Structure 1
Amino acid sequence: MGHPAVSPSGAERLCPAGRSPQPPTRGSQLKLISALKRCVAAGAVILAAVSLQPTSASAAAPPVVGGTRAAQGEFPFMVRLSMGCGGALYAKDIVLTAAHCVSGSGNNTGITATAGVVDLNSSSAIKVRSTKVLQAPGYNGTGKDWALIKLAQPINLPTLKIAETTAYNSGTFTVAGWGAAREGGAQQRYLLKAQVPFVPDSTCRQAYDELVPSEEICAGYNEGGVDTCQGDSGGPMFRKDNAGVWTQVGIVSWGYGCARAGYPGVYTEVSTFAAAIKSAAANL
């Protein structure tokens, strides 16, 4: 998953704002990811996106690689945020997104949530302004990458329930977003979707020394080719529970590049923070 800084109000992988640095390679440059994530504190915006890029530079690069366009109404809980991040309807008037997508907690009327469409240019799009933001308490750029955005009015669409235990932190997940279809590419007009398999912490730590296993969950193919990327940060990673209901297990957070072999996407582990999210939402 790639991450670019977009504006002082959001953040995921671009730093400084407006620039999308090349992700670090393993070795001494690994520590650069901390600096990138901490750019949020400096007012940068880190964003991640559903990356559907080819596995090699010589591969063809059609508009969507590794994923497909979502159908209208397929994921009605998906939300696009004006700072360039994704999110999901936790409640009809609350969006769950990534902490690095916002600049802190408090009253905030500067974010617009777009919902109800797969085509962001559709005249049917529902657009609602924010009123408040709550960034995860204690967030400092490492772990705890979640935030809630209160909306000025409810959006009458289905919400996405969150995982409250680790029971669904395995198998194959779905990711969706309007982010770049290739590393360094432009964000998309249409909602894209893809599936990514769970990656054990032990395997993920071989790629990322700074992984926080108790707070983060990894997913992706070892050979690369499918991932989240610039512009998908804050969006949900989800799967169906035993009753067939979509359940959010992750929040797009960070990673090296987009769909690179050996570098899975890193997601906030929602079940770890479920109680805190529920409490915060009740008091937002």
Structure 2
Amino acid sequence: MFCAGTLHFCYILPFQNPVCSNCWISLTLNFGKVIIYKPKYSTRFGCTMARASSSAALLLLICFFNSNLSYSLSVFMKNSEASQVLRIRKRANQFLEEIRPGDLERECNEEKCSFEEAREIFKSQEKTTEFWFAYGDSNPCKNNICKNGGICNVKHHKYSCSCPPKFGGNQCEIEKSECWYKNGGCSQYCQDTRQGLYVTCSCALGYALSDDGKSCTPSVRFPCGLLKKSLRSYQGRSAEGNQTDASDVALLNETMGQENVSSWNQSFHPAAWAGLNQTVLQGAIEQEILEEQGNFSEWDVPHLPSFNSSDEKGKIVGGSFCRPGSCPWQVLLQTNREYGFCGGSLISSRWVLTAAHCLDTVNPYQVTVGDFDKYKRERDEQKVRVQQYWRHPQYDSSNYNNDIALIQLTSDVAFTTHVLPICLPSPDLATLLMEGKEPGMVSGWGSTHSKGSLSRFLLNVRLPIVSMDTCRQSTEKLITGNMFCAGYAEEAQDSCKGDSGGPFAVPYQGTWYLLGIVSWGEGCAESGKYGAYTRVANYISWIKEVTESATDESGFLHTLQ
């Protein structure tokens, strides 16, 4: 037995009143109830009870000790009994509970509390709301509401969804369209919106956006980059010695007229049309070129820069005829003596894009478009005088960085099936094409073998783009971010001197884009070496600035940012 409040033990003396300090006497019976006795009289020596109640009190104490003898002999309990004593029992609301201080354990854990009760405990609306978000049924993350594999998160009593890369929206319910992924679904130009959930599609010169907001349809007769007929494949040629394709002989018959095509055919290099599908023009053709040019030496004009002094001639190696209409944007830059010295690309009716190094020592006098045979006037051939030209202001002739130039013509070129401008890529589309597997097409009148002269006929070759790491590992020369490399490490297919300024064109969904400009290389088709090209997409702003400042027309680049 103990005294409530002071925890002093009380001793029971036989036939005497209980003696203890001045306190309440508390008896805890084994059936769980509490009986409290308060002495009516007390002195400083002990507790005094009325004589009339002494016998009753003594009897009560004797009964208590008899029934609780086992409890009084030991202060320890068994584990099971202790668990029963310490077990928290849910209790109902009690009398005057509202005036008692709020307690989280009592109010909300032992019982089901309300929002008002929780607010009394936390004393803060923000903390209460945050607690209630997790405590009540209002927590949206209790059952994941995020769609398409999204993860639900709660912060500051608000939820958010962490969405997979291809989805967005409050609950990941929107499938994202972004330009980096499949060009955002656009058939031509793509621009990301600020929200990052949708894209805005636009079209190139001569196209209009369709009702679906994605595809582009021609709005004029001759839109940019759209060939009227598909390019003919040359991969199926015979590898039988020096036998030319019958269709090429027919083409030469049509082109050269009364000239002896059979004798020209016999002058082909023995490797012509062989395993690497090379079209090697030499012998009589080279002699004819030299005779027609007279004393004008091709050393007087610039060629594709080469860091290999052993290779001094220009060429397209491993190429094929670029039949009329197959390279309709190809331009031939000519001197005032009508000697072709570099290539270029028609980007509108009055503008040509070429390499800056082509204009280092020679001023272009005129350009020829729609040409296949340089030494014969053809039906679709057009010659237009040059009005002025611009080299990029940061062009560096020592390493060919920013090797790009613009030429303005005195009059408009007439578009035909054999004369078309090529589309310029947006930066996003250019990145997509760089990472794709589609090879680019390089065309020009460069020489067809390492020791030969320039070609009479327009040739082309397909070359794959190689990674920047591969490109930089193949050379000790500077490869800047304004360049890219293309070609084969082993196969003898390449562009070279004489093809400078020409196009590196890549198709995308039926439209051709000018991805690069023939710039420089170490030799031509050298083993382990690649050709370097100017990255056109890096100069869209400069092209737009020059063309708009020089003319009143600003339409052909209005869709490019």
- TM-score in terms of structure 2 length: 0.40
Find the counterpart in structure 2 of residue 246 from structure 1: 512
Find the counterpart in structure 1 of residue 466 from structure 2: 199
CA deviation profile, 1:17-67 (whole Å, cap 9, x unmatched): xxx9425xxxxxxxxxxxxxxxxxxxxxxx995521xxxxxxxxxxxxx11
Q: Work out which of the residue numbers 373, 391, 407 in structure 2 matches 1:119.
A: 373
Looking at structure 1, the residues matched to 449 and 321 of structure 2 have their Cα atoms a distance apart, in angstroms, of 15
One-letter amino acid matched to 2:347: Y
Find the counterpart in structure 2 of residue 132 from structure 1: 388
- The Cα shift of 1:81 comes to 0.7
One-letter amino acid matched to 1:167: L
Residues 1:167 and 1:14: Cα distance change in structure 2 (over 3 Å): closer
One-letter amino acid matched to 1:95: V
Looking at structure 2, the residues matched to 5 and 270 of structure 1 have their Cα atoms a distance apart, in angstroms, of 28
* SS of equivalent residue, structure 1 residue 240: strand
Q: Which residues of 2 match residues 123-202 of structure 1 at below 5 A?
A: 123-124=377-378, 125-141=381-397, 142-157=400-415, 158-165=420-427, 166-170=431-435, 171=437, 172-202=439-469
Find the counterpart in structure 2 of residue 76 from structure 1: 328
Q: Decide which structure has greater strand share.
A: 1
Looking at structure 2, the residues matched to 195 and 235 of structure 1 have their Cα atoms a distance apart, in angstroms, of 13
Give the % identical residues. Answer: 33
Q: Which runs of 4+ in 1 moved over 3 A?
A: 4-7, 47-50
Looking at structure 2, the residues matched to 227 and 200 of structure 1 have their Cα atoms a distance apart, in angstroms, of 17
One-letter amino acid matched to 1:81: L
Looking at structure 2, the residues matched to 199 and 254 of structure 1 have their Cα atoms a distance apart, in angstroms, of 15
One-letter amino acid matched to 2:424: I
* Count of aligned residue pairs for this structure pair: 235
Structure 1 stretch displaced more, 81-90 or 208-217? 208-217
Find the counterpart in structure 2 of residue 67 from structure 1: 319
Gaps of 5+ in 1: 24-46, 53-65
* SS of equivalent residue, structure 2 residue 375: coil
- The Cα shift of 1:178 comes to 0.5
Between 1 and 2, higher relative CO (CA 8 Å, sep ≥ 6) is seen in: 1
* SS of equivalent residue, structure 1 residue 232: coil
Larger Rg: 2
- The Cα shift of 1:140 comes to 1.7
Looking at structure 2, the residues matched to 155 and 92 of structure 1 have their Cα atoms a distance apart, in angstroms, of 5
Looking at structure 2, the residues matched to 270 and 5 of structure 1 have their Cα atoms a distance apart, in angstroms, of 28
Residues 1:87 and 1:219: Cα distance change in structure 2 (over 3 Å): same
Find the counterpart in structure 2 of residue 271 from structure 1: 537
- The Cα shift of 1:189 comes to 1.0
RMSD over equivalenced CA pairs, Å: 2.4
- The Cα shift of 1:130 comes to 0.5
Looking at structure 2, the residues matched to 131 and 153 of structure 1 have their Cα atoms a distance apart, in angstroms, of 9
- The Cα shift of 1:12 comes to 3.6
Any conservation in 2 of the 1:50–1:192 contact (CA below 8 Å)?
no
* SS of equivalent residue, structure 2 residue 517: strand
Looking at structure 2, the residues matched to 5 and 209 of structure 1 have their Cα atoms a distance apart, in angstroms, of 27
Structure 1 stretch displaced more, 264-273 or 182-191? 182-191
Any conservation in 1 of the 2:433–2:506 contact (CA below 8 Å)?
yes
Residues 1:114 and 1:185: Cα distance change in structure 2 (over 3 Å): same
Find the counterpart in structure 2 of residue 22 from structure 1: 310
Q: Decide which structure has greater helix share.
A: 2
Q: Which residues of 2 match residues 94-105 of structure 1 at below 5 A?
A: 94-103=351-360
- The Cα shift of 1:5 comes to 5.9
Looking at structure 2, the residues matched to 5 and 140 of structure 1 have their Cα atoms a distance apart, in angstroms, of 22
Any conservation in 2 of the 1:51–1:259 contact (CA below 8 Å)?
no
Residues 1:283 and 1:144: Cα distance change in structure 2 (over 3 Å): same
One-letter amino acid matched to 1:112: Q
Looking at structure 2, the residues matched to 79 and 207 of structure 1 have their Cα atoms a distance apart, in angstroms, of 31
Looking at structure 2, the residues matched to 123 and 240 of structure 1 have their Cα atoms a distance apart, in angstroms, of 29
Structure 1 stretch displaced more, 203-212 or 247-256? 203-212
CA deviation profile, 1:58-111 (whole Å, cap 9, x unmatched): xxxxxxxx111011111111001115100010111111000001139xxx6x52
